[in-house]
Amino acid sequence: MPDIHIERSHQLGIDAARAIARKWVRQVEQEYGLECSYEEGPTRDLGRFNRAGIDGSVEVSGDSFRLQATLAGLFAGFSGQIEQRLRQKLDDLLGQRKDDEDEDDDAYNDKDWL
């Protein structure tokens, strides 16, 4: 069972959802040093990402995003914070972030532990 499971519904259609998913994959690849792949399908795409301690996927369709990740080693101890950052990044890209949510201003920097 994955340590992190995030699902988001949307009404974007597959082309717009695909563009957002590809942007998300590029961001996590560059910012966190993840190895990523992306496979397009007629109605559903699958992006995979991994590095030592993290293995996961994002499944994209015309009406939903489903992200799953399994964490090991040091990352397992930070699963709550990592999940929060992944949710925040996906919600930002989808435009679903609530206005009353403040940026996390604690001492943790997601690039330090991801």
**Top-confidence residue, 3 or 102:** 3
Q: What is the pLDDT of residues 12-55, one digit of tens each?
A: 999 999 999 999 899 888 888 899 999 999 999 999 999 999 99
Distances (CA, A) of 90 to 52, 55, 59, 74, 101: 22, 17, 13, 23, 14
Residue 88 within any structural domain of the chain: yes
pLDDT at res. 14 = 95
Query: What are the distances in angstroms from CA 34 to CA 8, 25, 41, 114?
Result: 22, 9, 22, 9
| CATH number, residue 90 | 3.30.160.110
Domain total for the chain? 1
Structure tokens at 71: 């964490």
Task: Report if residue 110 sits inside a domain.
Answer: no
Q: What is the pTM of this model?
A: 0.77
Q: Does 32 reside within a domain? A: yes
Confidence tier at 10 by pLDDT (50, 70, 90): very high
* Residue 102, domain member (yes or no): no
**Residue range of the domain that includes 8:** 4-97
